[in-house]
Amino acid sequence: MPWQSKRNVSETIGWGRLPRPRSAVFALALAAGALGAGGAGAAECPAFPPAAIKFTAMPPEIERDTSLSAKDLGKAISADKPMPGGYTRALSGAAAQRLSLAKLPDGTVCAAVHEIEFKIGIKRKIYVAQELANDSCVVDTVADIESPLVRSDDDALMRVGAALSQTFAAEVAALGTSIGPSQDEARKPLTEKVSALWRDKVFPAFEREMSAAAAKVDLTQWKKAPCGGATDKAFATLNAHSGTLDNPNWQAMLQQFQQQQQARASMASSMSNNMGGMGGGMMGH
């Protein structure tokens, strides 16, 4: 009797800030079975079920950095004034795919995507000017300026992730079935298609949504903690070098810098899509 054997293959395609994917890691999970295949003529691939799409948010990473001066933080966002703090973020992730394989009576191998799991996370760094780092309360209150951006990024990540199965259902369905004389030959076209989908569409979707959301964040509502007078004293140190920070509307100026930075980040993301790497620029405040 003609027969077909089926099995599943899992594969992870990593993508982060580098322009090339990490080496693929293969883990085989075999499940052989027998299926009838009647009729004459060339063998045809069996019907495979639609691929499932899953999303996993990786644990967030937030680091504080007090190694840069206020002047350095200003330069990082192309500002000509010293800045009390700043914020950077970078996305990283991977597309883990599970393939279904079927071996036909003539030895031909059919392959289809059984499941794709998109994993993505945010690595962030909050900067506080070196001049303000001597008091932990001051560091905390300056770092708190960035809290709306942190929340915005988290919300955007989950919003895009929750909609992945609908947003990219057509693209995943279009991956179709691959056929080849061996498992590797049948699997390779699908691996390349999933890699392209992840690099060119899924990963950039997260970056675009996060950048667009961050550009709308209002940073002017921050209320400084007095810290027993230490906050004003620390800011007075910066004021000795610049008249900007004693301006009651300085937060509005910082908001403007942040919006400009997000516009540049969105443009950079669009330009780097073909390279497959994503990162985040400094957002100074």
User: Hey, what are 86's tokens?
Assistant: 């700043």
Mean pLDDT of 244-267: 51
96: helix, coil or strand?
A: strand
**What integer pLDDT is reported at residue 79 of this predicted model?**
66
The answer to whether the CB of 87 falls within 8 A of the CB of 124 is: yes
Across the range 151-160, mean pLDDT stands at: 95
Q: CB within 8 A of 76, min separation 6: which ones?
A: 68, 83, 86, 282, 284
Instruction: Round to whole Å and give the CA distance between 19 and 210.
Output: 20
Q: How far apart are CA 133 and CA 143, in angstroms?
A: 11
Sign of CA dihedral 249, 285, 281, 23: negative
Higher pLDDT, residue 82 or 144: 144
Task: Taking residues 143-156, report their average pLDDT.
Answer: 93
- Whole-number pLDDT of residue 14: 44
- Choice between 280 and 13, residue whose per-residue pLDDT is larger: 13
What pLDDT score was predicted for residue 255? 61
CA distance 259 to 43: 58
**What confidence score (pLDDT) does residue 258 get?**
58
Report the range of poorest mean pLDDT among 135-149, 209-223, 268-282: 268-282
**pTM, full prediction:** 0.72
Question: Considering all CA atoms of the chain, what is the largest pairwise distance in Å, rounded to the nearest integer?
Answer: 89
pLDDT value at position 16? 39
Six-digit token string for 164: 């992945």
